[in-house]
Amino acid sequence: MATTSHTPHMTKAILAKEILKTRRAFWCSLGLTAFFTIYAILGINRVITTHGVEHVWLIMLMKDQTFTDSIKYVPLLCGLLVGLAQMMPEMQQNRLKLTLHLPCPQNRLLMTMLATGFGELTVIYLIQFVAIGVYYSRIIAPEMTCYVLFNTLPWYLAGYTAYFFSAAVCLEGKWKRRMILALIAAGVVTLYFIQPMPGAYNGVLLPAIVVTLLLTWLCIGSIVRFRQGLID
Amino acid sequence: MSKLSKIILYAVAITVLSWFLPWLYALLTPSASSDPFCAFSPISSQWIVSRSAPGEKPVITLVDAFGGNESSGTRIPVSVRDSLAPQLYYRQLVAHDLLPDTIAGKAVSAHELKTHEAFFTCSPRETNKVFPGIWLMMESMPVRVELSDPKEGFRITDNGIEFIRISDNTVNSDRSRRFTEAMKSRGFRFPAKDLSANITSQKTYDEGYLMIDSEGKLFHIKQRGGRPYVAIIDMPEDVIASKAFIWEESDRSILGLMTDTENRPYVIRSDGHKAIPLPSENGKIDPRRESIMVMGSLFNLTVRYTGPDGSRWRAFDADSLRLIGSIDFPRVTSTVSKIAGYVFPYTLSMTSSYDSLAYPRIKNFSLKALPLGLLLALTLWIMAARRKDKTMKIGALLTLPLGIFAFLPFLLLGDE
Amino acid sequence: MENVISVKNLTQRYGRGRLIYENLSFDVPKGSILGLLGKNGTGKTTTINILMGFLKPQGGECRIFGEEITRLLPQSRSRIALLLEGHVQYSFMTISQIEKFYSNFYPAWNRDAYYGLMEKLRVSPGQKISSMSNGQRSQVALGLILAQNADLLVLDDFSLGLDPGYRRLFVDYLRDFVKSENKTVFMTSHIIQDLERLVDDCIILDYGKILTHQPVADLMRNLRRYEYVAASADEPLPDNIEGIYSPREGHDGREFYSFLPQDETRRRLAEKGIAALSLSSHHVESLEDAFIGLTGRY
């Protein structure tokens, strides 16, 4: 009788499978992000052509605008998209049972899955973040670029939050609890958008990052409940 | 693992509810704030307090300059108000040909009143804003008559001021050096603690910046013909400036306002660049927590400080800045929020009308919510005992202090 | 003989409601094929869920390879092949991608077994599973199960969606595979004909209880179909008599099923005032007849 233990090639296989599964959602999200980022940049370019770059500085410094409003909800959308694309198929036709039957420790398995989605989102967010940073650093002072970039961070956190919550909602087996989780998710995500002033969240970013990462445990909770047979 | 996930779920749920339920409650029970509007009459030296509710006639009361309150005041009609506060309602008086030639020993005309009309506001929201660390510098003596949008920005470093040409986003070292030298030669110690300017070309003139240096001295700095203009503001001895506000008002007599580290307010006269303390009992003002509104006129300066506890109005003589009137309006707790006190043991809000930051603030602690908490906790305990549910029992214990915010999640998320 | 699956006093209800079964106990010895039969809603899938650790039983204990199922080690999991209603896990994969994926998890992976079956499917390795018919997908799932080369096969409704030819093929294939390699199988199916060719033992579940648990051969030998002509039209049916199953009015008289010998049956009928003078005993012809005989026709 051969014995197996969890080995790197299992993690690699799961990773490859998750990437394959979310491939479409990933490219969609990336396309969406690229579209809105380009849209935002073209918008600034238009302001520069019509009113001069001075106007951009003036509006940014005096009117608290960062010209990035059009990308505000895009990371959130991406988080949702990737989360649903990754976890919804698991919930159809007993697939999660088959996934959990794989001879791989349950939490390791889930964490590998979540890491895939998290990583994909990070790639998308990073591309956008760097694009905005590079573009802005050419036309505004570094302090202002920082100011603009810091202002986008809560949006990315909202995206990750949406991702983890959508995963937890999908993996949860009971409809009633799914609804409640979705409502809580809506509440948490809203918190990242209630104060539109640039820099408003700077002081809470670190705790917010910790809370966001802790949300992975919500998915573990859903799996544990699934294991106990708490399914509709 | 599963325990931690439960803790996180309940903690998140309780947090969200602590914010959402009070917010929802406030949304569903809108209460019009009935903050009064005051004017100080140069004729009768009394406060004219106007309260208006939507769709109703304004209630106008004449109240003594000091120590008066609305209930002991005299109700007056609108027409009387207009003649008692000509600094505000001179247009109406002119229309009815009722504007006298002299008021309080001063010759008046509509033009004169208009010239001295001045208005200033500043809210903690503005004061506490996050600034990127770059400011704009206007040209206060433009070649053409009208002002134009700034062409350069600047940053303040530990050693000086650095100008950046906006057009190509590069440092203008020449101007940087000239300003740094000028500021240092006037005694400015870098870096700056506070800066205030009103950057817009939609104004009649530009006074540049009021800047507080690292030692709390106040400077007036502007760009004139591309060159630095730096003047130190004369302050009473031992006063350390904390916040400064530039005020480019129409008659140019007041340069701005200032508070010191003791939260005492000052008016900065353009004439002589002097900071003059505003005398008043209970007149301290923390611009980081309270908003300031100033109405200037030929006769007086009427100042309103509004904070979480209510609003305070002070009137000062326009020439001597002597305190000539004082009236306070403590915040009245509305019935709606009194009821909320019985339901919510506390509230959580992420935003505040006093700043533009987002962070959790727990407030409105209410012991009155304890009975409801007890009731809900008992309900949950009984349910928990029936179901032999340990989590729910913990929920019952948490419901005691956290009330409805803990009750709902433990009720709804309890395992079947 | 070593028991691969051992279930003791299993008790399970739907939520806090209807009892599915109480004190269900059975063992599946190594090398045997056990079929779990029952009408819809008698708890077949529930049992599989419990055995695979997807449902915490309300009472009782289950062990697989001697390990408590809720704490089954990944190594032991790799020795169990699981098929749920013919579902393939990932329809976004192609025939070859899914084979490659699973091969990473199972040390005894038998690639040839999988591709051997796939050849019969007439699909190309690059074809996506989502573009295949339900039956074809079931076949892919079965191929994966066989390639896993597991010691225990748990098959829930394996024949769902398969056409008769392939069902027959698979049943034979499975039987050879199991018998030659001394594998153990625990399976349920809607199509009892398939089980007859395959299973050694069967458990027949009724609502709330086990009807019988015995080798299929014994069941076929011992279960009898009885026929008699009623004395009068208003003579009652032999309902509620212990040991007598599914009494009904047939075309040529009345019939019921029982494991009891004829004398005993006659005695029990007489106790209820049924003379059944023409009582005749017949062998059941198939496992399906036996199943319907025991569980009734709804």
User: What 8-state DSSP symbol labels residue B66?
Assistant: B
Cβ atoms of A209 and A156 within 8 Å: the answer is no
- Are the Cβ atoms of B133 and A143 closer than 8 angstroms? yes
- Write out the two tokens for B378: 């008992």
Where does the pLDDT of residue B382 fall: very low under 50, low under 70, confident under 90, or very high at 90 and above? very high
Provide mean pLDDT across the span B356-379.
Answer: 93
Where does the pLDDT of residue B353 fall: very low under 50, low under 70, confident under 90, or very high at 90 and above? confident
Provide the edge-to-edge strand list for the sheet that holds C209-215.
Answer: C80-84, C152-156, C184-188, C33-38, C201-206, C209-215
Provide the edge-to-edge strand list for the sheet that holds B274-277.
Answer: B241-246, B254-260, B265-269, B274-277
What is the spatial distance between Cα A219 and Cα B9, in angstroms, rounded to a whole number? 10
Percent of chain C predicted with pLDDT > 90: 10
- Are the Cβ atoms of A12 and C104 closer than 8 angstroms? yes
- Are the Cβ atoms of B136 and A57 closer than 8 angstroms? yes
Provide mean pLDDT across the span A120-127.
Answer: 97
The string of DSSP codes covering A32-59 is: HHHHHHHHHHHHHHHHHHHH-HHHHHHH
- For residue A172, the tally of other CB atoms under 10 A from its CB is 27
Provide mean pLDDT across the span C158-170.
Answer: 78
pLDDT tens digits along A60-94: 999 989 999 999 999 999 999 999 999 998 887 77
The string of DSSP codes covering B189-202 is: PSSEEEEE----SS
Span of A73-77, A187-191, C292-296 with lowest mean pLDDT = C292-296
β-bridge partners, B326: B66, B314
Q: State how far residue C151 is from chain A, nearest Cα, in angstroms.
A: 9
pLDDT tens digits along C196-225: 888 888 988 888 778 888 888 888 888 888
Provide mean pLDDT across the span A9-16.
Answer: 91
Q: With 70 as the cut, is the pLDDT of residue B399 above it?
A: yes
What pLDDT is stored for residue A2 in this prediction?
A: 41
pLDDT tens digits along C6-24: 989 888 887 667 788 888 8
Q: Which candidate from A9, A16, A99 shows the least CB-CB separation from C89? A: A99
- Write out the two tokens for B151: 């062409």
State yes or no: cis peptide before B191, omega within 30 of 0.
yes
Sign for the pseudo-dihedral over CA of C46, C49, C54, C60? positive
Task: Show which residues on chain A lie within 8 Å of chain C, measured between beta carbons.
Answer: 1-6, 9-10, 12-13, 16-17, 20-21, 89, 93-95, 97-105, 226-229
- Are the Cβ atoms of C107 and A94 closer than 8 angstroms? no
ipTM for this model: 0.92
Cβ atoms of C11 and C21 within 8 Å: the answer is yes
CA-wise closest residue to A141 among B125, C111, B167: B167
Span of B26-35, B332-341, C45-54 with lowest mean pLDDT = B26-35
pLDDT tens digits along B133-186: 999 999 998 888 789 999 999 999 999 999 999 999 999 999 999 999 999 999
Q: With 70 as the cut, is the pLDDT of residue B283 above it?
A: no
β-bridge partners, C73: none
Number of alpha helices (DSSP H) and beta strands (DSSP E) in chain B: 10, 25
Q: Which residues of A touch B134 (CB under 8 A)?
A: 57, 61, 140-141, 143-144
What pLDDT is stored for residue A4 in this prediction?
A: 45
Sign for the pseudo-dihedral over CA of B212, B217, B220, B226? negative
Q: Which candidate from C50, C75, C93 shows the least CB-CB separation from A4? A: C75
Q: Which residue of chain A is at minimal alpha-carbon distance from C50?
A: A229
Provide mean pLDDT across the span B367-376.
Answer: 95
Which of A91, A101, A107, A108 should we substitute to test contact with C (largest number of C Cβ atoms within 10 Å)? A101
* Domain regions of chain B by residue span: 2-31+338-412, 37-115, 118-296
Q: Which candidate from A146, A174, A204 shows the least CB-CB separation from B359? A: A204
Q: With 50 as the cut, is the pLDDT of residue B106 above it?
A: yes
Where does the pLDDT of residue B61 fall: very low under 50, low under 70, confident under 90, or very high at 90 and above? very high
What pLDDT is stored for residue B281 in this prediction?
A: 65
Q: With 70 as the cut, is the pLDDT of residue A3 above it?
A: no
Where does the pLDDT of residue A49 fall: very low under 50, low under 70, confident under 90, or very high at 90 and above? very high
- Mean pLDDT, rounded, of chain B: 91
The string of DSSP codes covering C54-104 is: SS--SEEEEEETTEEGGG--HHHHTTEEEEETT--S-TTSBHHHHHHHHHT
What pLDDT is stored for residue A59 in this prediction?
A: 93
Q: Which residues of C touch A94 (CB under 8 A)?
A: 84-85, 87
Q: With 60 as the cut, is the pLDDT of residue B416 above it?
A: no
Provide mean pLDDT across the span A165-181.
Answer: 92
Where does the pLDDT of residue C244 fall: very low under 50, low under 70, confident under 90, or very high at 90 and above? confident
What is the spatial distance between Cα A172 and Cα A175, in angstroms, rounded to a whole number? 8
Span of A24-33, A136-145, B148-157, C73-82 with lowest mean pLDDT = C73-82
The string over C33-45, giving b where at least 16 C-beta atoms fall within 10 Å of a residue's C-beta and e elsewhere, is bbbbbbbeebbbb
Alpha-carbon separation of residue A212 from A113, A118, A132, A216 (angstroms) = 16, 11, 23, 8
What pLDDT is stored for residue B1 in this prediction?
A: 57
What pLDDT is stored for residue C119 in this prediction?
A: 85
Which of A1, A4, A21, A92 should we substitute to test contact with C (largest number of C Cβ atoms within 10 Å)? A4
Q: Which candidate from C54, C100, C101 shows the least CB-CB separation from A97? A: C54
What pLDDT is stored for residue B62 in this prediction?
A: 93
Provide the edge-to-edge strand list for the sheet that holds C3-13.
Answer: C19-29, C3-13, C59-64, C67-68
- Are the Cβ atoms of B153 and A198 closer than 8 angstroms? no
Q: Which amino acid is at C60?
A: G
Provide mean pLDDT across the span A33-60.
Answer: 95
Cβ atoms of B313 and B302 within 8 Å: the answer is yes
Q: Which candidate from C74, C80, C101 shows the least CB-CB separation from A4? A: C74
What pLDDT is stored for residue A52 in this prediction?
A: 93
Q: Which residues of C touch A18 (CB under 8 A)?
A: none
Q: At which residue do the structure tokens 């008559």 appear?
A: B145
What is the spatial distance between Cα B159 and Cα A108, in angstroms, rounded to a whole number? 53
Where does the pLDDT of residue A166 fall: very low under 50, low under 70, confident under 90, or very high at 90 and above? very high
Where does the pLDDT of residue A111 fall: very low under 50, low under 70, confident under 90, or very high at 90 and above? very high
The torsion of the CA quartet B229, B230, B231, B237, rounded to 10 degrees, works out to: 170
Task: Report helix angle C95-103 to A8-51, nearest 10.
Answer: 120
